[in-house]
Amino acid sequence: MAAVPRLGADEGGHGRGVVSRVQMKYRPFIIVIVLLALAVLALQYTVDVRVADQAGIRMALPTRLGDWRGSELRFCHNEACLKEFPREELKDAGKCPACGTELFTMTLIEYKSLPTDTEFLKGKYTNAAGESVFVSIVLSGRERESIHRPERCLVGQGNSIDKSYVLEAPLAGQKPLGVMTLETSRPVDLRSGKQTLSGYYAYWFVGQGRETPSHGTRMFWLAWDRIVHSVAHRWAYIAIAGRREAGSDKFQQQVKDFAGLLQPEIKLAAPARPATPGGS
Ligand SMILES: [Zn+2]
C-alpha cells in the first residue's frame, strides 16, 4: 500500500511536467507567429530589399601578423588529389602543382556545402615557438545563407564544446573586439591509444559598420537592416582556431593577441549608415 501514495505523487509530478512541457512546446510557435506578424507589417511598409554588395571586410590575408608568419591556403578539388598548398609557395595560384587542375580558396566539402556566391578564405600562421593558428573567413553571398551557427558545425565534425565565453581582444584606439571563444575537445585514435585533442575555436561577425561575437545579435541586425533600412548586407564570419593545453587558459592570450592583430588588417572603414528609402 505504501507504493500507492508514491505512485500518486509521481503522477502529480508527471502532470506538472506535462503542463510545463506543453507551454515549452508551444513557446517556439508563439515566437514564430509574432515574428511572422512583424514581417507582414514590415513588408507592407517597405519596398524591395536591396542587396548591398559591399562587404565590411577585405578578403585577403597578410603574410605577417606581429610575430606570426603565414599564408592563405589553396585547395585542389580533384577527388584523386585533394592536396592543399600555402598560397606563397605556388608559382601559379590558380593551378594545382600536383595534378594541374584548378585550385580553390576552400576545401571541396566546403565548396559543395555553400551557396556558390559565398566567398571563403583560409590561412595558416605559425610563430617562432612552433605554434599554429588557422584562420577562416566566410563572406555571405546574395542568399545570405552561408553563415550558420558555428557550434553546430563543430559538433557535427565530432568535437565537443566544453566551455564558451566572450574574450575581449584589445584594439589600438578602439573599444575591444568581443570574440566568442569555444574550448573544444575531440577523441582521436593514435597508435599509442585513444587520446583527447584539446583546441579552441574563436569567432566574430562583421557587417557594415557592425561587429559582434554573437550569432543571435548578427541575426537581429540582419533582420533590422532588412526591415528598417530595406537592405541585406553581406556579413562575414571570421574564425581562428588552434591548440590548447587541457586545463590551462594560456591559449586565451593567443586568441586575444591574434584577433587583435587580424581585425585591423581585414576590416574596412565603415561607410555612412544606409539611407532609409525616400529619406535623404
Ligand atoms: Zn591536385
Residue 108 Cα to ligand 1 middle (Å): 11
CA–chain centroid gap for 26, Å, is 29
Query: What pLDDT shows up at residue 267?
Result: 86
Residue 241 Cα to ligand 1 middle (Å): 25
* Helices 215-228 and 3-45, axial angle in degrees (round to 10): 40
Residue 75 Cα to ligand 1 middle (Å): 8
Average pLDDT score, the chain? 83
Please state whether 40 falls in left (phi above 0), alpha (psi between -120 and 50) or beta. alpha
Residue 121 Cα to ligand 1 middle (Å): 18
Residue 155 Cα to ligand 1 middle (Å): 29
Instruction: Please state, as a whole number, how many other Cβ atoms lie within 10 Å of the Cβ of residue 255.
Output: 22
- What are the tens digits of pLDDT across the range 29-87? 788 888 887 777 666 555 566 666 677 888 999 999 999 999 999 999 999 999 999 99
Q: Give ion ligand 1 contacts, CB < 5 A.
A: 76, 78, 81, 96, 98-99
Residue 84 Cα to ligand 1 middle (Å): 8
The residue among 37 and 183 whose pLDDT is bigger is: 183
Q: How confident is the model at residue 188 (pLDDT cuts 50, 70, 90)?
A: confident
Residue 90 Cα to ligand 1 middle (Å): 12
Q: Is the pLDDT of residue 193 over 90?
A: no
Q: For the chain, what is the total number of helices (H) and then of strands (E)?
A: 5, 13
Residue 124 Cα to ligand 1 middle (Å): 19
Most confident of 22-31, 63-72, 187-196: 63-72
Q: Is the pLDDT of residue 4 over 50?
A: no
The whole-model pTM stands at: 0.76
The residue among 255 and 195 whose pLDDT is bigger is: 255
- What are the tens digits of pLDDT across the range 263-279? 999 988 766 555 444 43
Residue 113 Cα to ligand 1 middle (Å): 20
Average pLDDT for 216-236: 84
Average pLDDT for 97-118: 91
Query: What pLDDT shows up at residue 11?
Result: 38
